[in-house]
């Protein structure tokens, strides 16, 4: 599509997004959200994919939420298929902030099991925000296949996502609590504890689950009940 002079002039307002100073990039993103212009969307999405500063990325995401979803959703749904992890992760994060369930088809099983922990965590949060009514148990079953994997932050994020799904996570967590892998059992028992008592805290729930798994070996119904108390 040929750009008019008006288009070029409008996009000059975003020149600050390539400035080496984060403060300038932050102010430019703020201005783009304060006075939205449909012509900004493509550039904002592009900048999200490469912006190194978290605060600036958050402002870019906010700016995108201020624009029409008819423009932002298609661009972001394409971006989640990028070969670059940061682009995928930030696009997923922005979709979760927009919260429009029309974006649900973009949340694929491949993204939910992305090799990059940050992308996977963003996908879990987006999935919980966008899942259609009635699809929660199926989503929980997919998320439960990731139990016991990744580092502390990834495991904590996964527990939070499963807890956010509420009782729909129950069957998936019960099945995982009988998994032969003690890491999976521990994570499942800890998440069940958090589901019943969100104030318990992730670390204490994990430590209690570890004790149950170590003392009992193969899980039983009584073991699960003790881990939930």
pTM of this prediction?
Answer: 0.86
Residue with tokens 């989503």: 139
pLDDT category of residue 5 using cuts at 50, 70 and 90:
low
pLDDT at 226 over 50: no
Give the CA dihedral 172, 88, 155, 162, nearest 10 degrees. Answer: -30
What confidence score (pLDDT) does residue 218 get?
52
Q: Token digits for 199? A: 């104030």
What contacts 33, CB < 8 A, 6 or more positions away? 59, 62, 63, 64, 65, 66
**Domain coordinates in residue numbering, the chain:** 1-130, 133-229
pLDDT category of residue 200 using cuts at 50, 70 and 90:
confident
Comparing CA positions, the residue from 79, 97, 77, 96 lying closest to residue 88 is: 79
Crossing angle of the two packed helices 182-196 and 221-228, in degrees rounded to 10: 50
Q: 1-130 has which fold? A: 1.25.10
What confidence score (pLDDT) does residue 47 get?
96
What confidence score (pLDDT) does residue 228 get?
43
pLDDT in tens, 99-140: 999 999 999 999 999 999 999 999 999 999 999 999 999 999
pLDDT at 219 over 70: no
What confidence score (pLDDT) does residue 31 get?
96
- CA-to-CA dists, residue 212 to 198, 222, 229, angstroms: 19, 10, 11
The mean of the pLDDT values for the chain is 91
Alpha-helical runs (H) found in the chain:
5-12, 22-34, 41-50, 54-65, 69-79, 85-98, 109-112, 117-130, 136-144, 152-164, 170-176, 182-196, 202-216, 221-228
End-to-end Cα, the chain, rounded Å: 62
pLDDT in tens, 15-65: 999 999 999 999 999 999 999 999 999 999 999 999 999 999 999 999 999
pLDDT in tens, 150-197: 899 999 999 999 999 999 999 999 999 999 999 999 999 999 999 999
pLDDT in tens, 66-79: 999 999 999 999 99
């Amino acid at each position: 599509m040929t750009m008019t002079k008006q288009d070029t002039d409008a996009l000059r307002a975003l020149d600050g997004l390539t400035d080496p100073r984060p403060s300038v990039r932050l102010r430019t993103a703020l201005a783009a959200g304060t006075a939205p212009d449909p012509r900004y969307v493509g550039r904002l999405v592009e900048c999200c994919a490469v912006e190194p500063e978290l605060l600036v990325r958050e402002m870019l995401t906010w700016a995108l939420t201020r624009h029409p979803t008819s423009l932002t959703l298609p661009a972001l749904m394409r971006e989640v298929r990028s070969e670059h992890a940061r682009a995928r992760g930030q696009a997923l994060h922005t979709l979760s902030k927009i919260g429009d369930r029309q974006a649900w088809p973009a949340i694929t099983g491949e993204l939910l099991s992305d090799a990059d922990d940050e992308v996977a965590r963003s996908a879990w949060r987006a999935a919980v925000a966008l899942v259609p009514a009635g699809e929660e148990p199926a989503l929980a079953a997919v998320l439960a296949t990731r139990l016991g994997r990744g580092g502390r932050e990834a495991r904590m994020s996964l527990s939070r996502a499963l807890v956010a799904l509420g009782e729909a996570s129950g069957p998936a967590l019960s099945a995982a609590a009988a998994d032969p892998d003690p890491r999976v059992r521990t994570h499942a028992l800890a998440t069940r504890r958090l589901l019943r008592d969100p104030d318990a805290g992730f670390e204490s729930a994990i430590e209690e689950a570890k004790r149950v798994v170590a003392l009992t070996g193969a899980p039983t119904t009584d073991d699960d009940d003790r881990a939930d108390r």
